[in-house]
Structure 1
Amino acid sequence: MRSANGKQRKIVGYMVQQERPHLGRFLLSPRPVQMSEHADGEADDLPAALVTVYLDASQSDWAVPYTRGLISLTGTIEVGRLEETDGRVSWVRMRITPEATRGMSPSELDRYFHSLQHKH
């Protein structure tokens, strides 16, 4: 990992399903994981090989909706200990460009909120 520090790399993984998304970032895991921050607190079962993905600074107020299945991301890797604003410590981060994500159209946003109401 240290040799990847500061370099552009591609990572494939699963977006961590969180109760409360954090603006401007999300977590990427090597396996599907659902966090229950309210119930579990800091006793979550997130894998050690977790990557905190940061959107571009111009998108720091965006909440990224949960995406099921494998996703592929390309961005700049950062390696080293960093205490996040929520108190979580990250060891690997990826910074992606603004082109890597985009805002949802009104119809996409409507479908997304509708899908949250009908989970089984």
Structure 2
Amino acid sequence: MSDTLKRADGKTIILTGYMVQQETPAVGHFMLTPRPVQMSEHSDGEADDLPPSAVLVYLDPAQKDWVVTYSRGLVSLTGVLKVGRHEGPYGRISWVQLQLGQDAARGMNPVEQASYLHNLQHKH
């Protein structure tokens, strides 16, 4: 772990990367990587293709029950960087986390929610 990364611990930063596309969207968090990654948890189990530079991104605690839908392409996020070993949901270990503020995410409107649920039913 670099000294630069360690010095950024606890500071508000802007981080740009790709959301990891997962079979089942995560609740209250998602992962961000420097390159596009698609995980197949059902078929691959613990053998995933996450690079060591993956960052675990957490929504604001008031949004911990929100489902984060996948967004294609680069995304830029502003949050507080946390550096150090952290065991996240489902036992995954991460060394870098980003805590987003409440304004970083919004709920789905009814049309978006209907489209999202429809796509889940017709996923191949």
TM range (shorter): over 0.9
Distance 1:41 1:114 in 2: 26
> 3-state SS of the aligned residue for 2:15?
strand
Shift of 1:53: 0.4
- For structure 2, the residue ranges without an aligned partner over 5 or more in a row are none
> 3-state SS of the aligned residue for 1:78?
strand
Q: Does 1:59 align with 2:63?
A: yes
> 3-state SS of the aligned residue for 1:45?
coil
Distance 1:118 1:24 in 2: 24
Distance 1:113 1:32 in 2: 23
State how many pairs are aligned. 120
Q: How does 1:63-102 map to 2 (within 5 A)?
A: 63-102=67-106
> 3-state SS of the aligned residue for 1:86?
helix
Q: Does 1:106 align with 2:110?
A: yes
**Considering only aligned residues, what root-mean-square deviation do their CA atoms show, in Å?**
1.5
TM-score by length of 1: 0.93
- For structure 1, the residue ranges without an aligned partner over 5 or more in a row are none
Q: How does 1:20-35 map to 2 (within 5 A)?
A: 20-35=24-39
Distance 1:69 1:110 in 2: 22
TM-score by length of 2: 0.90
Q: Does 1:36 align with 2:47?
A: no
Identity of aligned residues (%): 58
Distance 1:7 1:53 in 2: 15
Letter in 1 for 2:80: T
Q: How does 1:11-26 map to 2 (within 5 A)?
A: 11-26=15-30
> 3-state SS of the aligned residue for 2:39?
coil
Shift of 1:72: 0.4
Letter in 1 for 2:90: D
Distance 2:94 2:53 in 1: 10
Shift of 1:119: 6.7
